[in-house]
């Protein structure tokens, strides 16, 4: 099972969650929200062979944390994964739109210069602006749109641009999210939870609850659970084909 976007460092007991992930054999992309969080979050996962820690600068925090960009650049050689990055067009973050764009473009340019990374992208209420940057920085790496909630038209554009998608129980719970997921080619889908930010029935999702997304995909694709599980693992392997270790 795979959780390709969660925030391990933000759970009340990260070490406990990590132990459980290891015990269950989960593949995890642990994303961070600030460059300063990366080292400690990376250390938390220790030598867990199936947990990778992405270097991030969350678009909702860039106005407070853009001074950490030099640290981002310094740490980038240490990580094959970048996230959470992107743009957020919600009213609360709109005042910082220009800073968000400057930071996002800087990160994409830096990733391009570094030979590309696997990038987990936030695009809430900003999908077309995010896709404009995906198109403008094709060498930044492989883009994985996390919890995509844009229009069907933007989704089709993202597919044409070669994007991948990580989809979780919260996205798959609603009709509109399921309709979007149904349009995505199966070979570009991974599961995620976005825990502990994402909640289901009032409780923060735990990484192994990516399980619920597998159930949803099984119904949506009319495939047995085991087949969906195998398909997702094959997707992950294909995504990582061109990566060296860390």
Cβ closest to Mn ion, residue 56 vs residue 229: 56
Determine whether 221 is exposed, middle or buried from the number of CB atoms within 10 Å of its CB (0-12, 13-18, 19+): middle
Cβ closest to Mn ion, residue 29 vs residue 181: 29
What gap in Å lies between CA 57 and CA 47, rounded to an integer? 24
Cβ closest to Mn ion, residue 68 vs residue 229: 68
Q: Which stretch binds Mn ion (CB under 5 A): 69-77, 79-87, 184-192, 212-220?
A: 79-87
Cβ closest to Mn ion, residue 9 vs residue 84: 84
Total chain residues near Mn ion (CB under 5 A): 2
Please report, as residue ranges, which positions from 10 to 69 form the binding site for Mn ion (by CB under 5 A): none
Q: How far does Cα 218 stand from its chain's mean position? A: 21
- Cβ proximity of 210 and 24 under 8 Å: no
**SS3 sequence of the chain:** CEEEEECHHHCCCHHHHHHHHHHHCCEEEECCCCHHHHHHHHHHHCCCCCEEECECCCCCCHHHHHHHHHHHHHHHHHCCEEEEEECCCCCCCHHHHHHHHHHHHHHHHHHHHCCCEEEEEECCCCHHHHHHHHHHCHHHEEEEEECCCCCHHHHHHHHHCCCEEEECHHHHHCHHHHHHHHHCCHHHEEECCCCCCCEECCEECCHHHHHHHHHHHHHHHCCCHHHHHHHHHHHHHHHHCCCCCC
Q: Which stretch binds Mn ion (CB under 5 A): 84-92, 127-135, 178-186, 224-232?
A: 84-92
Q: Which stretch binds Mn ion (CB under 5 A): 21-29, 92-100, 192-200, 201-209?
A: 192-200
Cβ closest to Mn ion, residue 122 vs residue 188: 122
Cβ closest to Mn ion, residue 52 vs residue 229: 52
Q: Which stretch binds Mn ion (CB under 5 A): 22-30, 152-160, 189-197, 219-227?
A: 189-197
In the bound complex, what is the minimum distance in angstroms from residue 34's beta carbon to Mn ion?
13
194 binds Mn ion (CB under 5 A): yes
Which residue has its beta carbon closest to Mn ion? 194
In the bound complex, what is the minimum distance in angstroms from residue 23's beta carbon to Mn ion?
24
In the bound complex, what is the minimum distance in angstroms from residue 205's beta carbon to Mn ion?
11
9 binds Mn ion (CB under 5 A): no
Cβ closest to Mn ion, residue 54 vs residue 76: 54
Site mask, Mn ion, residues 203-232, x = CB under 5 A? Answer: ------------------------------
Please report, as residue ranges, which positions from 92 to 131 form the binding site for Mn ion (by CB under 5 A): none
- Cβ proximity of 59 and 100 under 8 Å: yes
Site residues (CB under 5 A) for Mn ion?
A: 84, 194
């Amino acid at each position: 099972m795979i959780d390709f976007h969660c925030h391990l460092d933000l759970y009340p007991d990260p070490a406990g969650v990590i132990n459980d992930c290891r015990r269950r054999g989960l593949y995890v992309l642990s994303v961070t929200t600030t460059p300063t969080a990366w080292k400690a979050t990376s250390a938390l996962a220790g030598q867990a062979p199936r947990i990778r820690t992405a270097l991030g600068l969350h678009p909702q925090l860039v106005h407070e944390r853009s001074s950490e960009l030099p640290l981002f650049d310094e740490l980038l050689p240490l990580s094959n994964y970048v996230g959470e990055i992107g743009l957020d067009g919600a009213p609360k973050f709109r005042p910082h739109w220009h800073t968000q764009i400057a930071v996002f473009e800087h990160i994409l340019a830096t990733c391009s210069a570094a030979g590309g990374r696997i990038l987990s992208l936030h695009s809430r209420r900003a999908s077309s602006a995010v896709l404009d940057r995906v198109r403008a920085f094709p060498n930044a790496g492989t883009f994985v749109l996390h919890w995509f909630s844009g229009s069907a038209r933007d989704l089709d554009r993202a597919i044409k641009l070669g994007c991948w998608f990580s989809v979780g129980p919260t996205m798959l719970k609603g009709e509109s999210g399921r309709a979007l997921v149904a349009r995505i080619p199966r070979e570009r889908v991974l599961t995620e939870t976005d825990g502990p930010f994402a909640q289901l029935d009032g409780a923060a999702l735990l990484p192994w609850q990516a399980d619920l997304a597998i159930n949803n995909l099984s119904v949506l694709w009319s495939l047995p659970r085991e087949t969906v599980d195998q398909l997702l693992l094959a997707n992950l392997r294909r995504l990582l084909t061109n990566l060296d270790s860390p």
